[in-house]
Structure 1
Amino acid sequence: MARKPLKFTTAFGLTVMVLGGLLELGAFGYHLGSMVSAETVFTGAIVLTIGQAFFGIDNLLLSLLLTFFSAVGAGYYVLVQTSSWLWAIVAVIAFFAFIVTLFGFRSSIRKKHGLW
């Protein structure tokens, strides 16, 4: 069984996902509730999402789990900014829906790309 060559986008996506996850997890423990922590968690959420887009995870459950983890990071940022749980929950739902929609567009483009 021959191994497939590692693509740049796959390696980049995996590296960026690991970096984003470490940023999010590390920032939760660093001055919890401060703006520095919130900004770092939000940065980690964006980086994790970008890595997920480059890696192209085929497993739906894992993809949704990573998207939810990123959405929680965005919600934490809003919670620290506003001190309102309502706005934080709205931000989590909105971020999650936005990313799922974007990934849905990506998959439909990839399917139709063969027809171009």
Structure 2
Amino acid sequence: MERQPLKFTTAFGVIVMILGFLLEAGSFFYQSGSGVSAESVFTGAVVLTVGHAFYGLNKLWFSLTLTAISSIGVGYFVLVQTNSWLWTVILTIAFFAFIVSLFKIRSSVRHQHGMW
């Protein structure tokens, strides 16, 4: 069985996902509850999502797990900034749904691209 060569987008996606997760997890514990922590966690969530987009996962459970981790990071940012649980829950669910719908559009474009 021959291994496929590692593509640039795959390697970039893995590196960016690791950096995003480390930034998000590390910032959560650094001055927890402060504005600096919230902004860093939000940045980590965005970086993790960008890495996820570049990597292009085929496993649904892993893709949903990464999206949930990013959504929790966005929710933490909203909670620290607004101190409102209602807005936190609403925006966390909205971000999760938005990212899932974007990945659904991306996969349908890839599928349709082969038929063009």
Q: TM-score, normalised by structure 2?
A: 0.99
Query: What residue number does 1:71 align with?
Result: 71
Quote the sequence identity (%). 64
CA offsets per residue over residues 4-43 of structure 1, 9 Å max, x none? 1000000000000000000010001100000100000000
Query: What residue number does 1:86 align with?
Result: 86
| SS in structure 2 of the partner of residue 91 of structure 1 | helix
Query: What residue number does 1:6 align with?
Result: 6
Counterpart mapping for 1:17-56 below 5 A: 17-56=17-56
| SS in structure 2 of the partner of residue 45 of structure 1 | helix
Question: How far off is 1:68 after superposition?
Answer: 0.4
**In 1: Cα distance, 2:67 partner to 2:15 partner:** 17
Query: What residue number does 1:60 align with?
Result: 60
Question: How far off is 1:49 after superposition?
Answer: 0.4
Give the 4+ runs in structure 1 shifted more than 6 A: none
| SS in structure 2 of the partner of residue 4 of structure 1 | coil
Count of aligned positions: 116
Q: What 5-or-longer segments of structure 2 have no aligned partner? A: none
Q: What 5-or-longer segments of structure 1 have no aligned partner? A: none
